[in-house]
Chain A
Amino acid sequence: MDFDLSEDQRLLQDSVSRLLGDKYGFENRKAYLKTPEGWSAEMWAAYAELGLLGLPFAEAEGGFGGGAEETMLVAEQMGRHITLEPWFTTVVLGGGFLRHGASAAQRAGIVPKLAEGKLKLAFAATEKQSRYDLFDIATTATKDGAGWVLNGAKGMVVHGDSADIFVVTARTAGGQRDHSGIGVFLVDAKAPGVAVKGFGTVDGQRAAQVAFSGVKLGADAVLGDAEGGLPLVDRVVDEAIAALAAEAVGAMEAAHVMTLDYLKTRQQFGRTIGSFQALQHRSADMMVALEQARSMAFFGTMSAQDADPVARRKHMAAVKVQIGRSARFVGQQTVQLHGGIAMTMEYAAGHYFKRLTANDGSFGDADHWVRVLTESGGLVAAA
């Protein structure tokens, strides 16, 4: 049991913290939001320089050689500043598929460019009917000689409008809700038949509706087993949940600190509002929610590395439930304790609330996962 960071981990944390502290104040973020991309190309280059884009890849493949803990540390810093760049989608999600699903040859064509900041990925999984069930897939990939032909549409593809490559789930066999018969494919965003419609999301991120009509894919487009792709999806999503948990903790901590600062300065009735016990107790409850979330972010980072997919999924479900519950409480109370000012677009608090809300909804909210965990028997075995 050791929660201490290694020297290298501390250096990584410090350098990310310094970069974002210098370049990602709330006013900077407002400016980044106004660019055509909706995020900062300059920051993207800075991430590349710092090794954050190659973070989880082996050094021999052009990466930084980081593990789950390093991802956690960076995600937490990104959460603190509610960053807008497609780091999570490219590095955690896209990177996860490359690390766990791609062949060395497939990686060789992508990882070095990705690490340099010249190539971005997005995960195209959600469909109109699927909600949070990533196995519910109507998009089809049918055999075409040695390759495949892709047809269908994906929605809410986060950062889909800037992606160079989509990681797409498609049905290769069986019925729409079967757990088998699912393939995972790498699809060039510029391939004929790919149509991308970008839009903004409530938390300031970007997303896209992506349609595939008769998109021809080579034999080398598939990641791993063309009919057994779901375990790969689950594994990558479990790692993504751990990163989302860390990101939420960073955002919650920043929101809590911001709230405390406000309570110590805002005056009403001739004294600071932080002197009122009702607000003090609410702040203490925010701290309880935050500490419980921080504990579960550690637990998520540890559990996501578990080789047993059943135990891992249960643990990640628990992470999602706790993080979602805490994020909701801290987010809502950040707004409540600030009062009217937090309702304004120009003030940071509301933006943290929105990001925390969207974080909970990513890959299934707490209500979804509490059901999944309940149906799988929960965490404690009967006596």
Chain B
Amino acid sequence: MDLRWTDAEKAFREEVRGFINANLPAATRERMKMGKSPTKAQVVEWQQILNKRGWAAPEWPVEHGGPGWTTAQRYIFREELMLAPAPSPLGFNINMCGPVIIAFGNKEQKEKFLPRMLNLDDWWCQGFSEPGAGSDLAGLKTRAVKEGDFWIVNGQKTWTTLAQHADWIFLLVRTDPNAKKQEGISFLLVDMKTPGITVRPIITIEGGHEVNEVFFDDVKVPAENLVGTENRGWDCAKYLLGNERFGQARVGASRERIARLKKIAAETWDNGKPLTQDIGFMTKVTEIEVELQALEMTVMRVIATAMKNPGSNKPDPTTSVLKIKGTEIQQGVSELLMKAAGPYAWVDGDPDMEGGTDQVVAEDPDIAPDWAFGLAGVYFNWRKQSIYGGSNEIQRNIMAKAFLGL
């Protein structure tokens, strides 16, 4: 039993950090340090830099362009990106659709899609949720009917993240309406430029445009775009959803934000002294730091198990622990960041947001310090974390049924 990083792993971390420092565009880092999401152009630029280095898809097998890393190296790489902070490789491409095509796709699909996914020549989005199929995903109703060499798709997807950027969408569609719930579903790849697709923005409570409704009206999809076996798309969906072992732990991201919170607290005065001297406030910070430290060790345990059983897709109860705790911690930190800003948090100052103040106001230091803009927005927005990816209540159902035998 040795619970520390090996020297090789430490050296790898240095290598990654050195690469990020030398190659991450300053504007991207600055923007992310302010707690904002990177722009589309920044995400694409950075993923292409990573791709040139062979690091765009940490988890992919070497023959499809992966770097051949151990689980520990993948974790270290992703943690360093979060700490920088730098954009992560686009999850829809690298962690969702790509692995499904690698596992279930045919040769033509692999050759056509994977290299463009790696280089982010195509931006993918995920068409799973529907108005009537949220936590109960298998209740989806979007239909695909075979007509000659095409599938004709009709229906509606929702909560489609960044569909406004997307070139392609991967869809779960019902191809056999008479089969049992999970058995009549197929996994389909659709070009977003196909006639009949309408993207309508959903503006979330903080004013941001992240998610969309996507409507399909007699959309003609070439038959060769079906992945795996017809009516066996639920296998792809389960594989995709089970692929993310580290869940939403995002330890590095929380650590980066706690470090920023402490800097803000040191510069913020409350009751005649810096907020860092307010034992009540700082105790809340400490409580979260402790939870985060425990979560990091939980991640380590998952990594150690994964390294012992490479290739195993066995469900692990700690994945649900990581989702629940990881999101609770991120939400907690976002709330403390907002609280630290005090009254300044209430300036609706993010120019990227719908209804947000214009750029002039956002950059006016007389109104509020620059770091305060958008903190409330992040707090409001991050309430989504305990809802998406299998809500935290669904995670508890999974634990009770699969691991506790209840």
Contacts and interface: CB of A to CB of B under 8 A. Distances in A.
Interface of A: 1-6, 9, 69, 260, 263-264, 274-275, 277, 279-281, 283-285, 287-288, 291-296, 298-299, 301-302, 315, 318, 321-322, 325, 370-371, 373-375, 378-383
Nearest to B278: A374
Contacts of A381: 259, 262
B3 A298 contact: yes
B290 A287 contact: no
Nearest to B328: A288
Contacts of A318: 289-290, 293
B405 interface: yes
B397 A2 contact: no
Nearest to A281: B396
9 contacts: A1-B300, A281-B396, A298-B297, A299-B3, A302-B3, A315-B293, A370-B283, A382-B263, A383-B263
B101 interface: no
A267 to B, nearest CB: 14
A380 B399 contact: no
Given A296-B293, A370-B287, A378-B282, A2 B400 contact: no
Given A299-B297, A378-B282, A283 B2 contact: no
Interface string B306-335: 011000000001101100110000000000
- The winner among A264, A379, A380 for most chain B CB atoms within 10 A is A380
B404 A283 contact: yes
Contacts of B4: 1, 302
A263 B403 contact: no
B282 A374 contact: yes
B396 A284 contact: yes
B304 A2 contact: yes
B51 interface: no
A315 B286 CA distance: 12
A275 B283 CA distance: 38
A381 B279 CA distance: 17
Interface residues of B, number: 57
Contacts of A260: 404-406
Contact of B406 (A283, A296, A370, A371): A283
B285 interface: yes
B72 interface: yes
B294 interface: yes
B190 interface: no
A279 B303 CA distance: 30
Given A280-B400, A381-B262, 16 more contacts: A3-B304, A3-B305, A260-B406, A280-B406, A281-B393, A284-B320, A284-B396, A288-B325, A292-B298, A293-B294, A322-B291, A370-B283, A374-B286, A379-B290, A382-B263, A383-B263
Contacts of A281: 393, 396-397, 400
B6 interface: yes
A277 B396 CA distance: 9
A280 B405 CA distance: 10
A298 B293 CA distance: 11
Contacts of A375: 279
B100 interface: no
What 6 A-B pairs come out closest when comparing CB atoms? A295-B297, A280-B400, A382-B262, A284-B396, A383-B259, A284-B399
Contacts of B5: 1
B289 A380 contact: yes
A380 B255 contact: yes
Given A263-B406, A288-B325, A277 B301 contact: no
B266 interface: yes
Contacts of B3: 1-3, 298-299, 301-302
A378 to B, nearest CB: 5
Contacts of A280: 396-397, 400-401, 404, 406
B308 to A, nearest CB: 7
B144 interface: no
A91 B263 CA distance: 44
B298 A321 contact: no
Contact of A298 (B301, B401, B405): B301
A315 B296 CA distance: 13
Contact of B403 (A287, A321, A325): A287
B297 to A, nearest CB: 3
A284 B404 contact: yes
B279 A275 contact: no
B41 interface: no
B56 interface: no
A281 B291 CA distance: 20
